[in-house]
Amino acid sequence: MAEEIDKNAQPEDLPFLGIPRPEEAGTHPTSTSNMPPMKNAPEELKEMAAKAADPSSATARKATPPAQVRMAKPLAKQDDDPGTWEFGRRNFLRAAGWMSFFGFISVASIGALRMMFPRTLYEPPKVFKAGVPKEYNPNTVSEKYKDTERVWICRDEEKIFALVAICTHLGCTPRWLASEGKFKCPCHGSGFTPEGINFEGPAPRPLERAKITLTETGELLVDKGTTFRYENGDWDKPDSFLKV
């Protein structure tokens, strides 16, 4: 049976308390001079003990840390460390994938928004009704639709035709001079006969005719979208004039 410990024994009589504590060995910063000194104590501990005993001593001043603390040098970069700003093949492929994804989303969004605004040209219609043939007297030129449609309704002894009021030189609007019996361009002096043939000025070719037909109700229907040129022999085509 193990030996029992005497409860009335003093601490110094206990064998397992014979090991000195750190405070008794002088290793604790708060060690005082009344504590047993440490055998072969390091110089740092001696300086700290001297500072605690007499702060004004030379040894204490030596133990005072400097005001400016030296910063530790950064570790050398390893050869296999890619670093923060290294852009390798994997990063490039990842960035390319994200750019492609966002590019597709952007193009799809723009296309969806573009579908809300159809490409429609809101132009005035090129087909209009010009009344009935009996409203036009033979050998006359009507300027009724010159300002609104840029078309003259002309009639001679045999036919009615529609001349486009656009000069073939630079696109100005000629004037009908009834006293002189000709069309005269005010821009550069080009002249045209009542049939639309150019005979003076810089105009390179005759005026153009617009398509003219009769509706089921007997009205004149002029289509400016279809024109006929004299130099191409189009004035002999049926829709270039209307017999009366």
The CATH number covering residue 134 comes to 2.102.10.10
Q: How many domains does the chain have?
A: 2
Which position has the token pair 């005979």?
199
Q: Is residue 225 part of a domain?
A: yes
Q: Is residue 106 part of a domain?
A: no
Q: Is residue 68 part of a domain?
A: no
Q: Are strands 191-192 and 242-243 parallel, antiparallel or unpaired?
A: unpaired
Say how many C-beta atoms besides its own lie within 10 A of residue 133's C-beta: 17
- Give me the phi and psi of 92, to 5 degrees please: -65, -45
Q: Is residue 108 part of a domain?
A: no
* Residue 91 three-state SS: helix
Residues 141 and 58 occupy one common structural domain: no
Residue-level pLDDT, tens digit, the chain, 244 residues: 445 555 555 555 545 444 444 444 444 444 555 555 555 666 666 666 666 666 666 655 555 555 555 666 666 666 655 555 566 778 888 888 899 999 999 999 888 888 877 777 667 788 999 999 999 999 999 999 999 999 999 999 889 999 999 999 999 999 999 999 999 999 999 999 999 999 999 999 999 999 999 999 999 999 999 999 999 999 999 899 998 8
Contact 130, 221 (CB under 8 A): yes
Contact 185, 171 (CB under 8 A): no
Both tokens assigned to 19: 């090991």
Show the domain range for 36: 15-63
20 DSSP 8-state letter: P
Residues 131 and 231 occupy one common structural domain: yes
* Residue 31 three-state SS: coil
Contact 52, 62 (CB under 8 A): no
Considering just the CA atoms, what is the radius of gyration of the chain in Å?
A: 56
Q: Is residue 78 part of a domain?
A: no
Could you give the CA distance from residue 63 to residue 121 in angstroms, rounded to a whole number? 91
Q: Is residue 3 part of a domain?
A: no
Q: Is residue 72 part of a domain?
A: no
Both tokens assigned to 27: 């290793």
Give the burial class of 41: count Cβ atoms within 10 A of its Cβ; 0-12 exposed, 13-18 middle, 19 or more buried.
middle
* Closest by Cα among 166, 132, 131, 126 to 146: 166
Could you give the CA distance from residue 126 to residue 114 in angstroms, rounded to a whole number? 28
Contact 154, 144 (CB under 8 A): no
Could you give the CA distance from residue 230 to residue 209 in angstroms, rounded to a whole number? 8
Q: Give DSSP secondary structure letters for 122-165.
A: ----SEEE---GGGS-TTEEE-TTHHHHSEEEEE-SSEEEEEE-
